[in-house]
Amino acid sequence: MKRSEINREIKKAEAFFASFNFKLPKFASWTLEDWDKHGDEIQEIFDCELGWDLTDFGRGNFAKDGLLLFTIRNGIMGSDKYTKPYAEKLMISRSEQITLMHCHVYKQEDIINRGGGRLVFELYNRKGDTLELDDTPVELVRDGEKLVIPAGGQLILEPGESVTLPQNVFHKFYAEKGSDVMIGEVSCVNDDHNDNVFHEPQLRFPVIEEDEAPYRLLVCDYKNYLKNRKG
pTM here is 0.96
Q: How far is CA 104 from CA 113, 125, 170, 189, 228, in A?
A: 20, 11, 8, 11, 33
Please give the average per-residue pLDDT across 30-56, as a whole number. Answer: 97
Q: How does residue 229 score in pLDDT terms, banded at 50, 70 and 90? A: confident
Over residues 170-221, the pLDDT tens digits come to 999 999 999 999 999 999 999 999 999 999 999 999 999 999 999 999 999 9
In words, the CATH class of domain 3-230 is mainly beta
Q: How does residue 231 score in pLDDT terms, banded at 50, 70 and 90? A: low
